[in-house]
Structure 1
Amino acid sequence: MDGDVVVREYRIALGKNPRGHKIQEGDNRTPEGKYYLDFVMDDSAFYRSMHISYPNLRDKKRAQSLGVSPGGNIKIHGLKNDNNKPPQFVQSFDWTNGCIAITNEEMDELVSLVKIGTPIYIRW
C-alpha cells in the first residue's frame, strides 16, 4: 500500500494451521495484528526474507499467562533454498511454520519496494 492505493498484491502461503492468531511456538499459525518489518536477511534456509516484529508485548503477555513460549523468527520469505518445484505449486497450499511465503521474484520486488520499519497488518 502507498496510502490508500494498492501498489502490489501477492499470492501467499501461510502456516500449516493458518486460522486463528499465533499463540505459541510450534502451533504453525501466522500471527495476526500490527507488526513492523524490521530487517532483511539474505542468508537463511530460504531465498531472502524480511523479519516481522512478532512477538509484540501483547503476544508475550498472552503466552506468559498461558505458560508457553510465543515463538518468534516470523518472516516474509521466498522459497526454500533446496526447492525444486515450480513456484505455482509451492504457492498452492499453506506450508510454512507460521511465516508468510511468496515467490523469489516477488521477494526481490518486495525488498525493493518496502522500507525497514514499515508497519504490516496481518489479518485473516
Structure 2
Amino acid sequence: MTSRFTELVVDCRDPERLAAFWCAVLDFKVIDRSEGKVEIASWVPTADEVRARQMPPTLLFIQVPEGKTVKNRLHLDVSPIDASTEDEVTRLLGLGATTTDVGQGPDRSWVVMADPEGNEFDVMRTLAARRG
C-alpha cells in the first residue's frame, strides 16, 4: 500500500492574491475555489481525471488569520523554461516577489525569493536551451 502526493497546502492571509501570483509564475489555472480556499494546477482536469486521480499535484491556498512568522521548512524551486535566470527574477519581481536572504551566502547558482506573503522559494538555473 502506498500514498500519492496530491496537493501542497499553503496557509495564507489572501488566497485569491497568492493564487493569482503563483498562476502567473507557473502558468497554472484556478481549478477550484470556495470560501477561503483557492486551488490551482497545471491544467483544468476533467471530472473523470479527478475521480481517477490522474493529475499532477495541485497547490491549495487556504486562508488563515495569522501572517507568516518564521522561515519556511518547505519551499518550492522553480526553473525558468524560456528565459535566463536573471530575466525570470526580474519578471517575478514585477509580479510582486522580493529577493530575500535566508542565510544562503554569496556565490550561489540560485536566487532566493519570497512571494507576496513572504513564503520563500528558489529560482534555479534556466532550462532554456542556450543559443549560439
Output the TM-score relative to the length of structure 2: 0.23
The higher relative CO (CA closer than 8 Å, separation ≥ 6) is in 1
Output the TM-score relative to the length of structure 1: 0.24
**Structure with a larger share of its residues in strand:** 2
